[in-house]
Structure 1
Amino acid sequence: MKFHHRFVLRISFISALGGYLFGFDFAVISGALPFLQQQFNLDPTWEGFATGCLALGAILGCFAAGKVADQYGRRPGMLLAAEIFAISSLAMAFAPGRLFFVVARFVAGTGVGMASMLSPMYIAEIAPAKYRGRMVAINQLTVVLGILITNLVNYWLRNEGADAWRWMFGLGAVPSCLFWLGAYFLPESPRWLVKNGLEEIARSVLSRIGAGSYAEDTIRQIKGGLSGGSQKINYNVLLKRAFLPVLLIGIGLAAFQQFCGINTVFNYAPKIFESIGASTDDQLLQTVFIGGVNLVFTIAAMLFVDKLGRKPLMLFGAGGLAILYVLIVQLLGAGSAEVSWFLLAAIGVYAMSLAPVTWVLISEIFPTSIRDAGISIAVIGLWVAYFILVFTFPVLFDHLGDKTFYIYAVVCLIGFLFILFKVKETKGKTLEELDQNLIRH
């Protein structure tokens, strides 16, 4: 069957700009923390909270996104996320005090949480099965682009004085406006349209995606997936015996992506490199290297996710990180500058596996009738895990030092076994084909 690749790629990339917002706010705190510590006198607890409060807002954003996406559509949800993020970016930039800044970052998290759920959901629903893995992985590509560009901007602003951090946060309004403009011209998800009785509009959208009988075949599959399903988002249905196993798998994958520990390197790279005597300039320069490696290996993941499959990449990521963490502990303990190479290797392994593939799986595993609620809860689990990770790291590192990474090595070993025994392969199947017997109980 012939597909209109340029159209699919264009709308996938535009919707994935929501991932850029995620990457921006994810990375900006790393460069800004040295300035915030001086500006607001942050101790390890406040340092962790200032970083992690983004996740608390994201949890609220996921709940809101589920409701908005179900009632009004995926596109209005993405527009709202962009508006929230633009306003909160400026609020953080002009924050007069610590509490105001934390509240503004919490609000920013609401927009990030909405985008982190809606962007991969939209792409998964609009992309043909054959290309869905790499299209959803575009969302992770924009995340890492956001991280890399933000790290470069942070490094460029490092010598702009005590208020450099205000520029770092304020510039977040730029990608927010670009995301809003792009999302304004996106078509609505055909699956949402069919679910809400707008079949003719759905047929028009699908005909722009694939030629021949693609539109009619897809509509028939969507209707089959919706038969007997709830027409409105209902979190209680997830607790039914038929859906609970896939819900637990989704939450487990999302939580593992965070508890594997690699995001401590993204958020606290300056702190880690400071422990081996690196200067402030070198600390920020390392964040640029991290962003570059992250980008290169994310592109590699996009090339392999639909060829090698989801499960092999996830196993590679979990096992590879467990081994690398043990080596990192040894090098940090010896104060060796060589640790930077192993941290970059860990970033590469993560970027090629757990980072993009988790989002692909979360967007695929839930049946059409409960996808809104299922993805919402899974992504909430991701953000809860992220908050716990980044809130506890400064305290753990302050008490345990380099041995903190032993904890993450154990988590990765557990995650390896979880993926090996509980997750089934999903590549090459339509979302409707995945509705039944997807996950090994």
Structure 2
Amino acid sequence: MKNQKQLYIILVTLVATLGGLLFGYDTAVISGAEGALQAYFADNLNLSALVHGITVSSALIGCIIGGLLSGYLASNLGRKYSLVLAAVLFLVSALGSAFPEVLFFTKGEPTMALLVTFNLYRIIGGIGVGLASAVSPMYIGEIAPPETRGSLVSLNQFAIIFGMLVVYFVNWGIAKGQSVAWVNETGWRYMFLSEAIPAALFLFLLFFVPETPRYLVSKQQNEKAKEILSKIYDKTMAKATMFEIEKSFDEKKGKLFAFGKRIIVIGVLLSVFQQFVGINVALYYAPRIFESMGAARDASMFQTIIMGLVNVVFTLIAIFTVDKFGRKPLLIIGSIGMTVGMFGVAGMAFSNAIGIGTLIFIIIYTASFMMSWGPIVWVLIAEIFPNKIRGQAVAIAVAAQWAANYFISSTYPSMMEFSGGLTYSFYGIMSILSALFVWKMVPETKGRSLEELESILVRNKRHSA
């Protein structure tokens, strides 16, 4: 019986993590298409590096919108049907980004209007990413038992990185052996189109998973909540968990700052630091960084695959250690590794010694991020907010994350034109500050139920009042 319950939790979690896989797929597909988009749009239309940076990062505008909407949708549509909506948006974006000319334009004739339309389709996909990035870990966090919650929520980050790795292989496979002209004209379309396959699978499988017990209780559907809990826990634990959930909804009103401002600030700063350390620069512009070392396009995409494999391995380290060592130690260790990696890249850039050393430092940096700030921030965001404000608070934290992501990613090309060394030094400084922030402000959440964490928060607020 216990094994059946564990299998049920794992299967439900795996379906939810497809939202993470599509999050990774959608955000990383641009890495292979970025150079082709510059040739197809920016070069043909004589657009600046800033405009190209905005195009590469346009999906992030949608991510901010999706993040902001996630709280309202998760609280009203529910966690499950918010993910269904995200899956539909992923599917529309994949088809539209591949063929933005459909209905209104002539294929093969780049214009400003076509560029705007392409960006609109990317924004639609970004809304899906913003929704999935907030709701997938929220869903898993509300389904998972306390003793495995960290590992199961971390699986969502593994899915994000795995989605990135898959699309690195897909992009490399599409471009391999083809002429640059073909990739610039046609190949980038296949890269975006490939996302339709996992999006359709996600949409189909979502109809076979339940709503979360905590959402059901918030809508006074307690009997349905008990039914779901009985599939996760034994009879005694299911009854105790149900009592804790009901009590948490009875005790507090759902005002955003009902539990104090500090916890909201911590959630927002976790999100902002996760982006200000510069991770998505490494992910979005990876082929271009490797090309700057002298690698050909095919080779640069292959090096990106190597980086993706490293990311997967170190995300697995986080999954197997987060419920053993705790959240804070992993975050601080990761910050130290990121600092070494980024200042190493900065030093190579200042000395104009771009080469294999740069690849090594980038791998140190990304490996450190993937075993710490990549998965652990999502775990904490799914854990630290009380039941009655979780939807609102997660929405604010995730929107802040995507706003920070957009700022960092869209400014990277123009910052690099000014100084590569100073650009990477900035990310290194942010890595140092992230460690200090965790040390001073972030609570440890390992091994506690969501309701237990909430009761601790209430007690701390009373003591500080």
* 2:367 aligns with one of 348, 351, 356: 348
* 1:394 aligns with one of 398, 408, 413: 413
Query: Larger Rg: 1 or 2?
Result: 2
Task: Give 3-state SS (helix, strand or coil) of 1:238's partner.
Answer: coil
Summarize the alignment of residues 270-281 of structure 1 with structure 2, pairs less than 5 Å apart: 270-281=287-298
Equivalent pair of 2:286/2:304 in contact (CA under 8 Å): yes
Answer with 268-277 or 205-214: which moved more. Answer: 268-277
* 2:302 aligns with one of 285, 291, 294: 285
Q: Which runs of 5+ in 1 are unaligned?
A: 232-236
Determine the structure 1 residue equivalent to 2:12. Answer: 11
* 1:57 aligns with one of 51, 54, 62: 62
Equivalent pair of 2:157/2:315 in contact (CA under 8 Å): yes
Determine the structure 1 residue equivalent to 2:329. Answer: 312
* 2:219 aligns with one of 157, 180, 196: 196
1:96-122 CA-to-partner distances (Å, cap 9, x unmatched) read 321111111011101111111110000
CA spacing shift, 1:43–1:279, aligned 2, 3 Å: farther
* 1:404 aligns with one of 417, 423, 429: 423
Amino acid at match of 1:196: K
Question: By how many angstroms is 1:362 displaced?
Answer: 0.5
Determine the structure 2 residue equivalent to 1:108. Answer: 125
Determine the structure 2 residue equivalent to 1:22. Answer: 23
Determine the structure 2 residue equivalent to 1:234. Answer: none
Determine the structure 2 residue equivalent to 1:238. Answer: 256
Task: Give 3-state SS (helix, strand or coil) of 2:324's partner.
Answer: coil
Amino acid at match of 2:444: E
Determine the structure 2 residue equivalent to 1:427. Answer: 446
Task: Give 3-state SS (helix, strand or coil) of 2:385's partner.
Answer: coil
Equivalent pair of 2:327/2:446 in contact (CA under 8 Å): yes
Amino acid at match of 2:173: W
Question: By how many angstroms is 1:279 displaced?
Answer: 1.6
Task: Give 3-state SS (helix, strand or coil) of 1:213's partner.
Answer: helix
Question: By how many angstroms is 1:181 displaced?
Answer: 1.2
Question: By how many angstroms is 1:2 displaced?
Answer: 4.9
CA distance in 2, matches of 1:19, 1:125: 16
Equivalent pair of 2:68/2:398 in contact (CA under 8 Å): no
Question: By how many angstroms is 1:335 displaced?
Answer: 2.1
Answer with 337-346 or 302-311: which moved more. Answer: 337-346
Q: Report the TM-score, using the length of structure 2 for normalisation.
A: 0.91
* 2:87 aligns with one of 82, 87, 99: 82
Q: Which runs of 5+ in 2 are unaligned?
A: 102-113
* 1:327 aligns with one of 344, 351, 367: 344
1:12-65 CA-to-partner distances (Å, cap 9, x unmatched) read 111111001110111110000111111002532122111222111111112322
Amino acid at match of 2:230: S
CA distance in 1, matches of 2:420, 2:335: 22
Determine the structure 2 residue equivalent to 1:295. Answer: 312
Aligned length: 435
* 2:192 aligns with one of 166, 169, 181: 169
* 2:100 aligns with one of 91, 95, 98: 95
Amino acid at match of 2:315: T
Are positions 1:260 and 2:316 aligned together?
A: no
CA spacing shift, 1:230–1:178, aligned 2, 3 Å: farther
Task: Give 3-state SS (helix, strand or coil) of 2:443's partner.
Answer: coil
CA distance in 2, matches of 1:176, 1:355: 22
* 2:434 aligns with one of 400, 412, 415: 415
Q: Report the TM-score, using the length of structure 1 for normalisation.
A: 0.95
CA spacing shift, 1:238–1:80, aligned 2, 3 Å: same
CA distance in 2, matches of 1:399, 1:170: 35
Summarize the alignment of residues 204-243 of structure 1 with structure 2, pairs less than 5 Å apart: 204-230=227-253, 237-240=255-258, 242-243=259-260
CA distance in 2, matches of 1:335, 1:428: 44
Equivalent pair of 1:266/1:290 in contact (CA under 8 Å): no
Question: By how many angstroms is 1:348 displaced?
Answer: 0.8
CA distance in 1, matches of 2:441, 2:72: 29
CA distance in 2, matches of 1:305, 1:336: 34
1:303-331 CA-to-partner distances (Å, cap 9, x unmatched) read 00000100000001112111221111222
Equivalent pair of 1:55/1:383 in contact (CA under 8 Å): yes
Amino acid at match of 2:240: D
